[in-house]
Amino acid sequence: MLPDYTLVIHGGAGEEIMLNTQVTGIIEFALQTALTLGSQVLQQGGKSLDAVQRSVEALEDCFLFNAGKGSVFNKDGKNEMEATIIDGSSKRSGSVASARCVMEESSHSLIVGDGAEEFLQGLEKKEKPVVPEYFYTDIRHRELIANLSGRAKSINNHPQTVGAVALDCWNGLAAASSTGGLVGKLKGRVGDTAIVGAGIYADDKIALTCSGDGDVFLRNTVAQKIASLYHNESYGLRQACREVMTEHLNGICAGIISVNTKGDAIVEANAGVFFVMSWLPT
C-alpha cells in the first residue's frame, strides 16, 4: 500500500455572483474531473509535480474558468495568460504559458512576451502550439465590451485563477497555478500568478497558491510572507495564512489553498465565492 497523499485544487476566488444551477453543476463537474485526474497520478505513486500539472491543465480546458480556454481579454482584445509550476523538493520553478518547459528546458525562471514564444518554438521537443481561437469564448468577449463601455458591475464577476497544491507518497510538495488576469487589463500586464512568492510558493515543507486581486498579492508578496511565518515564526499553517490575510488582505477579494508535509490542508478565503475541492489522507 502506498502512503496517503493530499491534493487540493481551486477554481478561483471572486465577489458574490449569481450562478444558476446548470452553471454551478458544470463548475463542480470540472473541479471533480480535475481532482480525479490529479489523484490518479498520486494513487499510482506519481510525483506531486505531475499531479498539480494534470489538475490545472484540466481546469484550463473548462471555459468557465479564467485560465486557458475562457481566459479574459486585455484592452486590445487579446488573450494574455500566465502560469507557474513549482517543484517544492528542488525549489525549481517555471513561469509563462508553458511553465514546466521553462523550468525543465531553460536556465531561467520566468520568460515573457515574444521571448516566451521564441523559446517554445526552439524546443527540441516542439511543443504543439495552441491556436488563438482555442482561448476565445463569447462570455469573455461580452465581459470585455461591458468593461470598456463602463457597464461592467464588477471586474471579478466570474471564476478566476485556477490552482493546485499536492503532497505525494514520497513526501514531495508541488504547486501550480494559471490565470488569464483581469478583464480589460493593460497589454503586457503580469500579475501575481507568474511571480513565485506573490501568488504561489512551494518548498520542501509547504506549498500554496492564491487567487484574488493579483496586484495586491504582488505588491505584498503574500505567498512568501505566509511561508516565512510558517518557517521562522513557528506559526501553524492556518495561523500563518490568517495572519497575512488579516494584515495585508483585509477587505480584499482573496482565497488561499495550502498543504504541508504532514498532509495538513488549509483553505482560507475572504471572498464571496471560492471554488475548492480536495482529496485528503484517510
Domain coordinates of the chain in residue numbers? 6-279
pLDDT at residue 268, rounded to an integer: 97
Alpha-carbon dihedral sign for residues 247, 248, 250, 253: negative
* CA–CA gap between residue 201 and residue 193 (Å, rounded): 10
Compute the radius of gyration of the chain from its Cα atoms.
18
Length of the chain: 282
Q: Which residues of the chain have pLDDT under 50?
A: 1, 144, 154-157
161, 179, 193, 221: the active-site residue: 161
What letters, b where the CB count within 10 A reaches 16 and e where it falls short, cover 150-178? Answer: eebebbbbbbbbbbbbbbbbeebbbbbbb
Contacts of 274 (CB under 8 A, 6+ apart): 10, 12, 13, 14, 211, 255, 267
Neighbours of 104 (CB within 10 A): 13
- Of 167, 140, 126, which is closest to residue 68 (Cα–Cα)? 140
* Phi, psi for 40 (deg, rounded to 5): -60, -40
pLDDT digits (tens, 9 = 90+) for 192-234: 999 999 999 999 999 999 999 889 999 999 999 999 999 998 8
* CA gap 253, 13 in Å, rounded: 7
Return the pLDDT at 48: 98
Q: Cβ(210)–Cβ(199) under 8 Å?
A: yes
Q: Does 6 participate in catalysis according to the annotation? A: no
pTM of the model: 0.87
CA-nearest of 268, 276, 259, 282 to 48 is 259
pLDDT digits (tens, 9 = 90+) for 229-272: 999 988 999 999 999 999 999 989 899 999 999 999 999 999 88
CATH of domain 6-279: 3.60.20.30
DSSP single-letter state for residue 192: G
From residue 229, give the alpha-carbon distance in Å to each of 44, 59, 99, 257: 33, 30, 27, 16
Tell me the CA distances in angstroms from 278 to 6, 148, 210, 216, 224, one per residue in order.
8, 37, 15, 26, 23
